[in-house]
Structure 1
Amino acid sequence: MNVSLRALALALSLVGGASAFAAEPPPPPPTPQELEQRLSSVEQQLQVAEESLRFVETQYSQRPEPDEEQARSRRYSDAEIQYLLGDWSAASVHFYDLVSDPAFRSHPRYADALFFLADSLYQQKNDIGARLYLRELLSQPTPTARHRDALTRYLAISGRLNLFDDVETYVEQARTLFGGQLPPDVQYVQAKWLFRRTDLPASERIARARSAFSPLAQAHGGPYQLQAGYHMAVLSMQAGELPLAILQFQQLLTPLSNEGGSAPTATPGKPVTRSTADTDTRRIRELSLMSLGRLLYEAGRFDEALDRYGQVSQDSESFPESLYEIAWTQVRKGNHQEAKNAVDILLLVAPDSRLAPDAKLLQGHLLQKLKRYDEAIASYDELIGTFRPVREKVDALLNANRDPVAYFERLLARTDTVPDVRTLLPPLALKYASTEREVSRAVKMVGDIDTGKKGAVDARELAARILRALDSRKLETFPELQEGFTRADAVETAVTHAESTLVEVEGLALEPSLTSQERDRLAPLRRERDALAARFATLPTTQKGLEERLRRMQTRVDAVDREAFRLGTEIQGLHAIASAVRKWVDDTRLLRQTPPDEEQEFLVQLQAEVQTLNDLQLELDRTRGRLADERNSAAASLSGEQAIRGRYAAALRSEHEVLSEAERRQSPTAVLTHAHQVRERGEALRKRVAEAQSALRTQVDQRGQRIRAKVLAEQHLLERYEAEVAAVSGNAKQLVGRIAYDSIRRVRRQFYDLVLKADVGVVDVAFTEKQDKTTNIQKVSAQKAEALRALDADFRDVLSEEGR
């Protein structure tokens, strides 16, 4: 027991010794010189903050807002820069924004904006849009410097689109504008218009078109000499003057004409290279060779026709057609072997040509003429084996639905994206569809309408988002002003940091003169300040800190947006599966034994799943819209941390008020005087920060009002546009459904005729072969009878003597 007491006493003594050894004397209070150094450091911080604030004032808050006229001029300048850089898409958007502004119509550059907008659309191959704005430019009451270029371009586009409804009026304008002498490109458009007119008697149309094309064709080296000469020859064919047409086509093929016609074609606003002109020359030469060959064929001059067909280049798109016509020319000459050689070459070099089926039929016919019956039947059987299965598939497609037109309408209506015509026809049937281009254009029209509808929906949603942002996210809707406000926020944070150091310096300088009551009052205030200091220290005080914080926040938002995009892709895939299932149900209705009730129940469930997918897609679109808003508002969230800074600044002010009471009881010192000067400088900066932020908020309100007015005006335009699109959308899809059905029916008829002709060819070969054998048998029988008669004559004397 005594040992334990002694051990406990020893332990206590050791603990006491260790505590005495660990206790250190408090650090000595800082000297006035050290406090002055800290104040100098604060002044440097405020100097940096003042420079940042001066940048905010000069670049953001105190920079005068441009008036409407200046803003429009600046937008025009930006649009013109995009146009000169060749960014046609961006230029067209900028110029459209300008020309759609009613206030810009009185601007001196309005006509230029219309021309640049039209040319930007033209460069994007949007001829219809370009023609629309060129027409608006030409309708201006006072002609401008752009009027001549606009008129030339308008007529050129009209000629390319074959839209000649108002050409005569504009040609007269051009005649007046150009002093009575039309430039070649306008002359050519006028001549093409006359060439295509259907409201005139044939004789009058031909005479007027000849009169218009003649000066161009006679202009040696002119840009349209070849084109005009070709049209003159075609007009002679239409007039029945075949010898003259032959002569004109022959003149087009002379070296002199080729040299003169190879001049570049002048197109306003777009230089024509030599390669383009050479391509036009080569194409006209090929067309002339084909036309001349046909004329010589009709005239019975077969050798000359073969010579012209043989001049068509092998890399020409007309080469397969020339081979086919060579074959028929040889048939007319009775040269069946040479005709077959031409057909064989055609099938070898262009097996996928639309002429290949007819060439195959001709091949079988020629083999029959050459008495190669097995090969002829093989040729016909190959044609039958190729096209009969496809014809049967097309038959099944048409017979699977009671109303094929309604089937195609539903097929077009229920897909998110407009289906390609290849989804409606087997590949081989598509290849030979005579109306493939017609269907493709019709489907493209529906696609354009659907794109317009989706664009209107997107525009309406965008307008709603803009209005919501103007109401709830005022500052962040203007990134430039938001950046200035954020920079000002960083300056205020830096000033608060400086004030924190000032309070510490004042506390150290006044520590000896504090009473116990003042120390008791300061203790909780300092604890509160220390608790807030950790969070306040995370706020950025420089532009670099702001950018780093913004980058981290936007990276998080982007990660979520990528996941949302992946989910959207999955939903699109499920939509495609649902469409494929519905198409399979329609296409296999005659092949299945499914009761109608079960099929109807399945289709109802399928439609419910599609509706669920639509709801999910809508929710996902909303989520991605909110993510876009959050990404754009990431910078604003930095300035939204004013609460932390405000509470910290309030704690500093409370502490400063207690210290001010102690300061009033003693004489001012150099340190405190210097601290007051630094504080006044900081307060002045804080006041300037508040003024800058107030000015920025005023600019936000002013810009927001202007944008709100524009958005509301666009919403009214969208309502009218949506009504117009809705009116034509249903009719357009019905039209495409009918066109698709008619096209497939014609393809089926085409394949039916091919198979029928091949079947007839097989029968004809068999009949011809039988007839040949019958003829041979008859010939042998005749020879036998003749031989018997000869023998009878030779042995008649012998037989008569034997009879005696």
Structure 2
Amino acid sequence: MNVSLRALALVLGLAGGAVARADTPPPPPPTAQQLEQRLTTVERQLQLAEESLRQVETKYSQQPEPDEAQARVRRYSDAEIQYLLGDWTAASVHFYDLVSDPEFRGHPRYADALYFLADALYQQKNDVGARLYLRELLSLPTPSLRHRDALTRYLAISGRLNLYDDVDAYVEQARTLFGGQLPADIQYVYAKRLFRRTDLAPSERIAHTRAAFAPLAQAHGGPYQLQARYHMAVLSMQAGELPIAILQLQQLLTPVEGAAETTAPKTKNKPQVRATADTDTERIRELALMSLGRLLYEAGRFDEALDWYGRVPQESESFPESLYEIAWTQVRKGNHQEAKNAVDILLLVSPESKLAPEAKLLRGHLLQKLKRYEEAIASYDELIGTFRPERDKVDVLLRANRDPVAYFERLLARTDTVPDVRTVLPPLALKYASTEREVSSAMKTVSDIDSGRKGTLEARELAARILTALDTRKLQTFPELQEGFTLSDSVETASIQVEASLVELEGLSLESSLTADERARLAPLRREREALAVRFASMPATQQDLEERLRRMQARVDAVDREAFRLGAEVQGLHAIAAAVRKWVDDTRLLRQTPPEEEQEFLVQLQAEVQTLTDLQGELDRTRGRLADERNGAAAALAGEQAIRGRFAQALRAEHAVLEEVERRQAPSGLMTRAHAVRQRGEALRGRVAQAQGALRGRVEQKATRIRAKVLAEQQLLERYEAEVAAVAGNAKQLVGRIAYDSVRRVRRQFYDLVLKADVGVVDVAFTEKQDKTTSIQKVSAQKAEALRALDADFRDVLSSEESR
């Protein structure tokens, strides 16, 4: 192709040079040998074009279209590759496309596709979706090779979601599947399910759970032996069998390999057995040490409790808690200095711990006991100075709104990012609100609903874009077929270049035989052809030319897209400002003297601005979508320059028709015979190009029809999903508004209690100090009276003798 362009440029340059230098003698006509060499070059050019077309036919137009079964196998292979690469999002999309195809349900790999889809969703923390497809896998009439893994994962997810309605049926299914004996992993999940049940009486739950954990605890060297033994100890705690629980934990700690999970209630101001979950060996040891220390504390065996608490490693997350409980154990022993030392270490190693405020209160109490009153008051004052301003801020937040629940609902409804009640709290209060488990769970629920709503909107927009592309862009929608079409375009361009070279060659060969009339007829035709040749020569004739022009056009589209992104960031910033202004209006309502009607007018204007910003954001999103379509469709725009090729080919045919009349008057020559053969091959080549392009367009229509049917079916599903999301979204927002309000109230109550205890501590220190001074004064007075009595006794005789005188 490059050779043909250079040959054409040479011919055009020679012709242009003849026009530009009309006053110079024309160059001598080429010899027969030179014409033969030029024709040989044209034949090579045509051969290269034929080879390119064979590539198009082999790879694209004549490649057998895979049937549906083969297409499904290829899609499964692509999905499995994405799964193995860890691209969970892409894998879930591919596998969903497969499992939603009714024809794929009878495929041997249908069960594997269900499992891989569920696992890909599970890796994305989409437990609900993973559970749905695992249940579908488990409901297949014939158990698959992945039935056991699916059952284990299903039970684990059910436990995490606290959904146990159908667990018993699946456990019985597993018993049947494994000959009446559950595998260790399924047995462990089932036992944990019993451990967490709340619908049974405590005694019944403990009995059933012990029976479930017993086989695992007795399996020496089993994978879940230590976990089961730890749960057995916790069950003994819950049953009130403290001596047995102590013995079980002591046996567990020698040696320790594994992990565990416990649960137990907490009470105020003293250590209690706590339950957590972990599979790490060191974590089991830490949990066992803490639990054993607490049990011994409850039993009044303080020295032993201190010994076990002291074994918690410093790098453990339980180390601050162990120090706090060591301090309380020392308090119970009456060792106030040792207790203060433990508190000081806690505040040194973990000053940001949740236990720090309670530890500071305890330190003030211990300093009071040690009669270090000034230090005690300083400790209380530090606590008061930290938490009283935060408590007052929360009070203002709660009092500024007549309906706090509605306030939080509005706040969450206008949050652009993930809704989070913590954004409304003062900085210090944020840490304490973030620890509320129900708040976190509620926020995750709202976030999931919001993500689902956004996902359905994005899916609807994507479906509309796909349908628009199928209707208007067609070939651009399928890059592989478009690539074949682009290559066929380059082959057509090369064939026309061959025709141009042949016309030039014929003109040079027949120049001496032209009559004056024929020269007059050829002159305008040649001028038209030469003018078109300039535009034709600028067309990309090779793959490299196409890629270069494509890069230039895509760079222009990218520049516009970057500007649209920048404007989108500005719009989002304005959204945040509007949300902040609305929050300020709500938070400062009690502090301002603004008339209600003026505030209402301002809020109406603010809402209008917000709506304008929303409209702008939507327009920017649509613009960026169109830019993405234009960027992807740039190649087709470059490859569709049919009009220029058609006009140039028509000009070549007109010039050839005049030359053909001249040729008929002469005897046939070998050169012209070869030229006719090359022209016939070129015409045949263009016919094959037309056939290839027709076949490619036919495939585009077939693919578009199939995809359009799938998209329309997905649109119907989207309508149902949108209705379901809309049905639960309103109730969820109200629920989270209530939870958010309750969370803020709890934070306020927590701060209130801390400040109150510190205030009481200050009063208590002052009262104790007064009592100490009063006692000291009374003691001194008593000593003074005693001394006076002693002096009176010593000098009584002297006084008596003096009186007698």
- 1:352 is aligned to 352
CA separation of 1:418 and 1:24: change in aligned 2, threshold 3 A: closer
- 1:127 is aligned to 127
TM-superposition CA deviations, 1:560-610 (whole Å, max 9, x none): 212222221222122122212222222222223333333333322322222
- 1:113 is aligned to 113
- 1:608 is aligned to 608
Q: How far is 1:78 from its partner?
A: 1.3
Q: What is the aligned-residue identity percentage?
A: 83
Aligned-partner Cα distance in 1 for 2:23–2:294: 119
TM-superposition CA deviations, 1:281-310 (whole Å, max 9, x none): 221221222221122112111111111111
Q: How far is 1:279 from its partner?
A: 6.2
Q: How far is 1:278 from its partner?
A: 10
Q: How far is 1:161 from its partner?
A: 4.4
- 1:659 is aligned to 659
Q: Is the 8 A contact 2:361 2:380 kept in 1?
A: yes
Describe the SS at the equivalent of 1:432: helix
Q: How far is 1:717 from its partner?
A: 0.8
Alignment of 1:633-782 (within 5 A): 633-782=633-782
- 1:77 is aligned to 77
The letter of the residue matching 1:252 is L
Q: Is the 8 A contact 2:259 2:283 kept in 1?
A: no
RMSD over aligned CA atoms reads 2.0
**1:35 equivalent in alignment to 2:35:** yes
Aligned-partner Cα distance in 2 for 1:462–1:401: 41
Describe the SS at the equivalent of 2:280: helix
Larger displacement relative to structure 2 (679-688 or 655-664): 655-664
Aligned-partner Cα distance in 2 for 1:278–1:703: 51
Q: How far is 1:434 from its partner?
A: 7.5
Q: How far is 1:262 from its partner?
A: 7.6
- 1:789 is aligned to 789
TM-superposition CA deviations, 1:665-711 (whole Å, max 9, x none): 33323332222111111111011111111111111111110011011
Larger displacement relative to structure 2 (298-307 or 33-42): 33-42
TM-superposition CA deviations, 1:760-802 (whole Å, max 9, x none): 1111111111112222222222222223333333333333333
Describe the SS at the equivalent of 1:73: helix
- 2:271 is aligned to none
Q: How far is 1:64 from its partner?
A: 0.7
- 1:307 is aligned to 307
- 1:190 is aligned to 190
Q: How far is 1:536 from its partner?
A: 0.6
Q: How far is 1:611 from its partner?
A: 1.9
Alignment of 1:449-460 (within 5 A): 449-460=449-460
Q: Is the 8 A contact 2:259 2:282 kept in 1?
A: no
Describe the SS at the equivalent of 1:410: helix
Aligned-partner Cα distance in 2 for 1:162–1:454: 26
- 1:622 is aligned to 622
Aligned-partner Cα distance in 2 for 1:223–1:359: 39
Q: Is the 8 A contact 1:156 1:185 kept in 2?
A: no
Aligned-partner Cα distance in 1 for 2:238–2:436: 28
- 2:383 is aligned to 383
Q: How far is 1:640 from its partner?
A: 1.7
Aligned-partner Cα distance in 1 for 2:765–2:259: 51
- 1:52 is aligned to 52
Q: How far is 1:429 from its partner?
A: 1.2
TM-superposition CA deviations, 1:726-779 (whole Å, max 9, x none): 111222222222111110111001111111111111111111111122222222
- 1:577 is aligned to 577
Larger displacement relative to structure 2 (289-298 or 21-30): 21-30
**1:567 equivalent in alignment to 2:535:** no
- 1:166 is aligned to 166
- 2:364 is aligned to 364
Aligned-partner Cα distance in 2 for 1:29–1:343: 108
- 2:324 is aligned to 324
Alignment of 1:425-464 (within 5 A): 425-433=425-433, 435-464=435-464
Aligned-partner Cα distance in 1 for 2:26–2:743: 100
Describe the SS at the equivalent of 2:592: coil
Q: Is the 8 A contact 1:390 1:428 kept in 2?
A: yes
Q: Is the 8 A contact 1:434 1:747 kept in 2?
A: no
The letter of the residue matching 1:155 is L
Q: Is the 8 A contact 2:29 2:508 kept in 1?
A: yes
Aligned-partner Cα distance in 2 for 1:22–1:766: 119
For structure 1, list consecutive stretches of 5 or more residues without a partner in the other structure.
1-20, 264-276
Q: How far is 1:346 from its partner?
A: 1.3
In the superposition, the TM-score normalised over structure 2's length comes to: 0.92
Aligned-partner Cα distance in 2 for 1:126–1:720: 20
Q: Is the 8 A contact 2:475 2:697 kept in 1?
A: yes
Aligned-partner Cα distance in 2 for 1:338–1:684: 102
Aligned-partner Cα distance in 2 for 1:93–1:434: 34
CA separation of 1:595 and 1:669: change in aligned 2, threshold 3 A: same
The letter of the residue matching 1:614 is T
TM-superposition CA deviations, 1:45-70 (whole Å, max 9, x none): 11110000000000000001001111
The letter of the residue matching 1:511 is E
- 1:206 is aligned to 206
Q: How far is 1:650 from its partner?
A: 0.9
The letter of the residue matching 1:233 is A
The letter of the residue matching 1:500 is A
Larger displacement relative to structure 2 (444-453 or 426-435): 426-435
The letter of the residue matching 1:726 is A
Alignment of 1:466-485 (within 5 A): 466-485=466-485
- 2:180 is aligned to 180
Larger displacement relative to structure 2 (648-657 or 773-782): 773-782
- 1:149 is aligned to 149
**1:242 equivalent in alignment to 2:242:** yes
Q: Is the 8 A contact 1:39 1:675 kept in 2?
A: yes
Q: How far is 1:482 from its partner?
A: 0.6
Q: How far is 1:388 from its partner?
A: 0.4
Aligned-partner Cα distance in 1 for 2:484–2:211: 70
- 1:231 is aligned to 231
**1:61 equivalent in alignment to 2:70:** no
Q: Is the 8 A contact 1:365 1:761 kept in 2?
A: yes
Q: How far is 1:95 from its partner?
A: 1.2
Q: Is the 8 A contact 2:30 2:508 kept in 1?
A: yes
- 2:215 is aligned to 215
Describe the SS at the equivalent of 2:433: coil
Aligned-partner Cα distance in 1 for 2:200–2:606: 58
Q: Is the 8 A contact 1:540 1:546 kept in 2?
A: yes
CA separation of 1:385 and 1:369: change in aligned 2, threshold 3 A: same
TM-superposition CA deviations, 1:325-344 (whole Å, max 9, x none): 11111111111111111111
The letter of the residue matching 2:414 is R
Q: Is the 8 A contact 1:221 1:262 kept in 2?
A: no
Q: How far is 1:517 from its partner?
A: 3.2
**1:586 equivalent in alignment to 2:586:** yes
The letter of the residue matching 2:548 is E
Q: How far is 1:135 from its partner?
A: 1.2
The letter of the residue matching 2:567 is L
Aligned-partner Cα distance in 1 for 2:294–2:616: 63
Q: How far is 1:36 from its partner?
A: 2.3
Q: Is the 8 A contact 1:446 1:732 kept in 2?
A: yes
- 2:87 is aligned to 87
CA separation of 1:221 and 1:344: change in aligned 2, threshold 3 A: same
Aligned-partner Cα distance in 1 for 2:319–2:298: 20
For structure 2, list consecutive stretches of 5 or more residues without a partner in the other structure.
1-20, 261-276
TM-superposition CA deviations, 1:127-167 (whole Å, max 9, x none): 33322211110011111222122222322333444433322
Q: How far is 1:647 from its partner?
A: 0.7
Q: How far is 1:175 from its partner?
A: 0.9
TM-superposition CA deviations, 1:361-401 (whole Å, max 9, x none): 11111111111111111111111111101101111111121
The letter of the residue matching 2:34 is E
Aligned-partner Cα distance in 2 for 1:374–1:643: 96
The letter of the residue matching 1:302 is F
Aligned-partner Cα distance in 1 for 2:212–2:422: 43
- 1:17 is aligned to none
Larger displacement relative to structure 2 (200-209 or 348-357): 200-209
Aligned-partner Cα distance in 2 for 1:180–1:123: 31
TM-superposition CA deviations, 1:400-419 (whole Å, max 9, x none): 21211111111111122124
